[in-house]
Amino acid sequence: MKLTLIRHGRTIGNINGLYYGKTDLPLVEEGVDALEQLKRDHRYPTAKHYYTSGMLRTEQTFRILYGETPHEIIPDLREIDCGDFEMRSYEQLKDDPAFQEWITGDNEANICPNGESGNAVTERALAALAPIIEAGEDAVIITHSGVIGGVLCRLFGKGTRYDYRVDPGFGFMVEFSGATPISIEKVPFPIHK
């Protein structure tokens, strides 16, 4: 079984370096253009099943990459709720003691005030992915950077979520033997001209 996790396209939150997750931002025009260019120059994996987190940015990305292919929405694959820090930049937050406490120490366990921790995001995403992995049929999921990083870090048992960071429109394909991940490779694949 192959499980492909692809990050959504670029939003104003990405461009402005904002902490955001629950805010349902659309793709910006340059994000749409970049995805369309990626699709022209690369081959995205196909699968028996397709999913998104249901957020606008993942739905738009899915339509660009996979058109009208039927897919399901799994809300538990949404990005972290940044609580009080949502839609604010590092520059806006750097002098806030609550922000400094959140980013210092164990950034997986630390909870954003009125939001979530990285561990909470990973746990809900893994619970949502469990039946997909158990079914053993190829799946493609358009989701979020934090979800991808947390899930892969936990599946492979090494590194941090930041070791699995990918640019918008990119992701990873994980091959499983039963419920055990055995290999990983970056996607999409370049089309050799």
pLDDT in tens, 102-126: 998 787 999 999 999 999 999 999 9
Q: Are strands 42-43 and 171-177 parallel, antiparallel or unpaired?
A: unpaired
C-alpha span between 164 and 20 (Å, rounded): 18
C-alpha closest to that of 42 among 169, 157, 159: 169
Rg (CA), the chain: 16
Q: Which CATH number fits domain 2-190: 2.40.50.1020, 3.40.50.300, 3.40.50.1240, 3.20.20.70?
A: 3.40.50.1240
What per-residue confidence (pLDDT) applies to 93? 97
Asked if 56 and 11 count as a contact pair (C-beta separation under 8 A), the reply is no
What per-residue confidence (pLDDT) applies to 105? 76
Per residue of the chain (193 residues), give pLDDT as tens. 999 999 999 999 999 999 999 999 999 999 999 999 999 999 999 999 999 999 999 999 999 999 999 999 999 999 999 999 999 999 999 999 999 999 987 879 999 999 999 999 999 999 999 999 999 999 999 999 999 999 999 999 988 888 999 999 999 999 999 999 999 999 999 987 5
- The pTM for the full model equals 0.96
